[in-house]
Structure 1
Amino acid sequence: MNRNDRSIVGLVALAHAMVHTYELSIPILIPLWLETFPVGQGTVGLVVAAGYALFGLGALPGGILSDTVGSRKLIAGCLFGMAASFALLSVAPSIVVVALALVCWGVAASVYHPSGLSLISTGVEQRGDAFAYHGIAGNIGTAAGPLAVTLLLLVADWRVVTALLAVPAVVAGLVALRVRFDERAAVTATDGGDSKASVGISSVGEFLSESKLLFVGPFVAVFAIVMLSGLYYRGVLTFLPDLLSQMPAFAPVEFAGRELEPYRYAYAGLLTVGVAGQYAGGKLTERIPTERGIGLTFAALAVLAVVFLPAANAGLVPLLVVGAFLGFALFVIQPMYQATVAQYTPSGTRGLSYGYTYLGVFGVGSAGSAIAGAVLQYADATALFGVLAAFAVAGAAIAAVLAAR
């Protein structure tokens, strides 16, 4: 990578790690909110879904802004906004204020993915490697966030922990304001059919026309794939800590005078395996058709949903093995669909394309949290994993159709 590539990858890796640190810390806090506030799983599921929904819904305007005002300002604003949101969460007196803080976090975090991924696709020459490193950084945040919360909860109340979590985002935001690079250094006349000067959307009419162009082609299949990926992702991860906490294999244990919660470490470990998944997915985008890779990964996710509970009933070792495969498969698919978006969209509206992508992944996908909460409250975990398997089967079928085209 050249100097410009390294500067961009360094910034987006830092910001991506921050975004997912906060995103995946939230499920660790859910059991504590259920203890603190007089609400059930269905209510908490809706509260979390509201924040995650804004995380996705804001991606579309975030994508448009990244095409017009540039990615650096949006990334800095994202980081400062997330810090303020977790500061608010730390003083929440009720579940209503928790919901408000999560909504504010969702709005702030929503602009990151379209701006960060657009920045990679237009500013980095070695795009495949950049997607891989970007994904690894996100998974480091994904694993480090829950682990940091777990360790901090050993010595502090959840309110203190959320206040402390606000500090790293402030530091990262200051870094984003200082680093320098060319955001469009990698755009050529052959990249998506656009010239380097063809940038951004300047009117409602242009937004509608560019959106229409996206959705009359194969991007519509990509959009369906990312929606299903988001539904599976949110559906399995939001209440997974709560499910693990109820399993005999993860009963609380006493150590050095403190009560440890093994399920939190298992959850963090599952997400840590995702680092390898992100790296493998990024490398595979350079070696196999991404549509085929997406289809195979969805098929694996369907199988894992079916065998997860039987593995849990079989004992600790089978559960950990299946959990590790689940963590790998959940994240190997992400760089594949990110690269697929770049293949099917023009560079001049790449931010818009990624805006729609993360509208699907995190906006529509946020419904997975509400669905999971409702299924668990009115049915059981077996029903939930059946629903997840159905999402994965549908994704595999659509990927097969796209590959055939």
Structure 2
Amino acid sequence: MALSANDRAIAGFAMTGHGLVHWFETSVPIFLVVWLAEFDVSNVLVGLVVALGYAPFGIGALPAGILADRFGPKTLVVACLAGMSASFVILGLTGSLAGVAVGLVCWGAAASIYHPAGLSLISTGVEQRGRVFAWHGMAGNAGIALGPFVAATLMAVGLPWQRAALVLAVPGVLAAIYGLTADFDSTAAVDDETDADADEVLSLGDLLTDSRTLFASAFALVFVIVTFEGLFYRGMLTYLPEILHGSDALAGFDPGQTLRGIEPGDYIYVGLLVVGIVGQYVGGRLTDRITPARGLLSFFAVLAVLALAYVPVLSLGGGGPTALGAVIALSAIFGFTLFAIQPFYQEAVAVYTPPESRGLSYGYTYLGEFGLGAVSIAIGGVVLDISTPTFLATMAGFAVVGAGLSVVLAVGLDTILGGGSASSPASANE
């Protein structure tokens, strides 16, 4: 069945917004490599600056969801696009680490708006939500891969990082302008009664009551699991370009200063993000066959092994084809697994929360994934200054904790809930 004109309009707008959020997000680790060299500062300091930018990305999810109910999701998505673009303009006009911090904080605050507003727009405006959600996820993964690829390429051909940031802002400006003129019904998929209920803004008292109820259920455990996934995800993706730069395995492929610090490792990083698109799709299909807890346990265990595997692989001397091939192969498997786990925690939220709390549940989910997960950037800067193996062991530790909590979710939930809960896994995958 073909999508309606309204569904197509919302799909195009939301896919553009989702892709651009991650376009900006994943370009930052590429810039981080250049900032370390240009400002001549430690991993610890740059890590704290980048963490300041990524933290609002998650922390702002809850207030953004409330604002979306008050002002409408379309308005909030346009504001998100404009704010992210303006933030990268700030980056493009600065020449100091303090200016970078300001730009990143502004970006994080603006970017935090997208997920609650964009998902709300699809859920209330699109009749064929399943198809559009699938496209929406693919667009996000495309942005994840294209952002660092374009950033690395712009600097590889000679653009200073400030000008590269300005170029990256252009699609966001164009998308915001398009959003101002886009014509669609953002409530086409809900009836009048539901639409009227949606106009009631959640009060602070209701928010606290609903939150207490939510965290008294199995969602509390799911939230902690998601947080540890976020700690692993954010730490690895932020510092992996820097780690690849300093590896013995790629030493023989250093192009020198002519590429302004952009090296083959940056393109390996982009490649693993591209492979992640496949991982996201496969993981999504597997959620129909494997319970969320078992899927999380399996993928967390693999991620821990892969993080530790980087220690010997990156130490391969000589920089020959064998070493390069080993790094590429490991990174491809890592990228696949890193994104294949994500549909499982998204499914876990759906399985272990009641429908009436689903929006609030996902708000907290993004708080854990992107907000609390950003703490690993600061932690990562400290342990990476000690040594690369220490950093990778720390990241593997996050994955091991996530695996252990997934065991509790898989085998201990009935005991925790006392059985018979509406949010028990009994309904999963039926």
Q: Report the TM-score when normalising by structure 2.
A: 0.86
Partner of 2:180: 177
Opposite residue 239 of structure 2, the aligned amino acid is F
Residues 68, 346 of structure 1: CA spacing in aligned structure 2 closer, same or farther, 3 A cutoff? farther
- Corresponding residue of 2:390: 383
1:362 aligns with 2:370: yes
CA distance in 2, matches of 1:88, 1:325: 36
1:284–1:368 Cα change, 3 Å = same
Match of 1:48 in 2: 50
Contact 1:226 1:361 in 2 (8 A): yes
Q: Does the C-alpha gap of structure 1 residues 242 and 49 become closer, same or farther in structure 2, counting only changes over 3 Å? A: same
Structure-2 change in CA distance of 1:286 and 1:115 (3 Å)? farther
- The aligned counterpart of 1:221 is 221
* Residue aligning to 1:265: 267
Distance in structure 2 (CA, Å) of the matches to 1:128 and 1:392? 30
Distance in 2, Cα, partners of 1:221 & 1:7: 37
Which residue of the partner structure matches residue 85 of structure 1?
87
Match of residue 28 from structure 2? 26
Aligned partners of 2:254 and 2:395: how far apart in 1? 31
Distance in 2 (alpha carbons) for counterparts of 1:47 and 1:280: 35
The amino acid across from 2:277 in the alignment is: V
Post-superposition Cα deviations, 1:227-284, rounded to whole Å, max 9, x if no partner, equal 01110011111111111111133345459x8676211111111111111112222333
Aligned-partner residue type, residue 331 of structure 1: F
The 8 Å contact of residues 235 and 368 in structure 1, kept in 2 or not, is answered as yes
1:158 matched to 2:161: yes
Worse-matched range after superposition: 178-187 or 390-399: 178-187
Query: Which of 304, 313, 326 pairs up with 1:318?
Result: 326
Cα distance in 1, alignment partners of residues 215 and 194 from structure 2: 22
Q: Structure 1 CA distance, aligned partners of 2:382 and 2:143?
A: 28
Normalising to structure 1: TM-score of the pair?
0.91
Q: What is the letter of the counterpart of residue 329 of structure 1? A: T
Matches within 5 A, 1:1-400: 2-3=3-4, 4-153=6-155, 154-186=157-189, 197-199=196-198, 201-251=201-251, 253-254=254-255, 261-314=263-316, 315-347=323-355, 349-377=357-385, 379-400=386-407
What's the C-alpha RMSD, in Å, of the aligned pairs?
2.4
Q: Could you tell me how far 1:88 is from its partner in structure 2?
A: 0.4
Q: Could you tell me how far apart the structure 1 residues matched to 2:375 and 2:116 are? A: 20
Q: Distance in 2 between matches of 1:302 and 1:396?
A: 9
Note if contact 1:63-1:354 (Cα within 8 Å) is conserved in structure 2: no
Residues 235 and 372 in structure 1, CA contact (< 8 A), matched pair in contact too: yes
**How big is each residue's C-alpha offset from its partner over 1:110-169, in whole Å with a ceiling of 9 and x where there is no partner?**
111122233334444554444432222111111111110111112311111111111100
Judged with a 3 Å threshold, the aligned counterparts in structure 2 of structure 1 residues 187 and 176 are, in CA distance, closer, same or farther, namely same
Judge which range, 56-65 or 312-321, deviates more: 312-321
CA contact (8 A) 1:133 1:279 kept: no
- Check conservation: 2:306, 2:330, Cα contact below 8 A: yes
Change (3 A) 1:113 1:178: same
Give 2:20's aligned amino acid. M
Structure scoring higher RCO (CA < 8 A, sep ≥ 6) equals 1
Q: Is the 8 A contact 2:91 2:162 kept in 1?
A: yes
Query: What one-letter code is carried by the residue in structure 1 that aligns with 2:178?
Result: V
Structure 2: unaligned runs, 5 residues or longer: 317-322, 414-430
Deviation per CA, 1:210-234: give whole Å up to 9, x if none. 1112111121122112101110011
CA distance in 1 between counterparts of 2:58 and 2:25 reads 12
* Contact residue 78 and residue 109 of structure 1 kept, 8 A: yes
Cα distance, 1:298 vs structure 2: 1.2
Distance 1:395 1:125 in 2: 36
Amino acid at match of 2:159: A
- SS of 1:2's partner is coil
Distance (Å, rounded) in 2 between the aligned partners of 1:291 and 1:121: 25
Cα deviation, residue 79, structure 1: 0.5
Supply the distance in 2 between the matched residues of 1:338 and 1:12 (Cα, whole angstroms): 19
| AA of the residue aligned to 1:394 | V
C-alpha separation between the residues in 1 aligned to 2:131 and 2:263? 37
**Unaligned regions of 5+ residues in structure 1, if any?**
none
Aligned-partner Cα distance in 2 for 1:215–1:269: 38
Greater displacement, 65-74 / 239-248: 65-74
284-293 or 67-76: which moved more?
Answer: 284-293
Q: Secondary structure at the match of 2:313?
A: helix
Structure possessing the higher radius of gyration over alpha carbons: 2
Specify whether residues 160 and 70 from structure 1 end up closer, same or farther in structure 2 by C-alpha distance, changes over 3 A only.
Answer: same
CA gap of 1:64–1:403, structure 2 versus 1, over 3 A, is: farther
SS of the counterpart of 2:341? Answer: helix
- Aligned letter for 1:357? T
SS of alignment partner, residue 158 of structure 2: coil
Deviation at 1:180, TM superposition (A): 3.8
